[in-house]
Amino acid sequence: MSDWKQMPQESGIYLIRNTVTKKVYVGSAICLRKRALEHRRLLRAGQHKNPILQASWSKHGEAAFTIEVLETCGSHDAALLVAEQKHLDALSKNFSLYNVCPIAGTRRGAKMPADAIERIAALKRGKKLPPRGPVTSEVREKIAA
């Protein structure tokens, strides 16, 4: 399906495919149409959070991408994530994926660039963490100070 506006307003699992490279992105959404249009808007603006997908979109252009429904399912988040993981696992055997996380719904397993790790570490250096244990009024005062 190349017309992203034709996606159904149901919950389900979708696939964004680059017809040139055959690489795919798998995702889940409560409303497939809304999520598809959000992806397209961010990609067109060069602001998509997935840098690999964004770079490919920028290189090959919008015409090289299609979107399709893999499965419709209940709107329960857990059911969506289970279904998304099933498709991620199956598709990763035959296709190269744009997904940066191998686990649906988490950032677990995503590789972070070294410069991003350093920026986060620099922000945390010198900061004292609040003490562990119950949050008493004394602890709250220390945190406030």
Q: Is the pLDDT of residue 50 over 80?
A: yes
- Rounded to whole angstroms, the Cα distance separating 62 from 57 reads 6
CA distances to 77, 92, 108, 111, 120 from 105, rounded to whole Å, are 9, 16, 9, 15, 22
- Rounded to whole angstroms, the Cα distance separating 109 from 93 reads 17
- Position with higher pLDDT, 105 vs 46: 46
Model confidence band, residue 109 (pLDDT cutoffs 50, 70, 90): low
For residue 42, what pLDDT is reported? 96
Model confidence band, residue 2 (pLDDT cutoffs 50, 70, 90): low
Closest CA to 72 of 142, 138, 7, 139: 7
Q: What pTM was computed for the model?
A: 0.73
Mean pLDDT, the chain, integer: 86
Closest CA to 25 of 60, 57, 3: 57
For residue 103, what pLDDT is reported? 84
Residues 51, 101, 40, CA angle at the centre, nearest 5°?
45
Average pLDDT over residues 25-38: 95
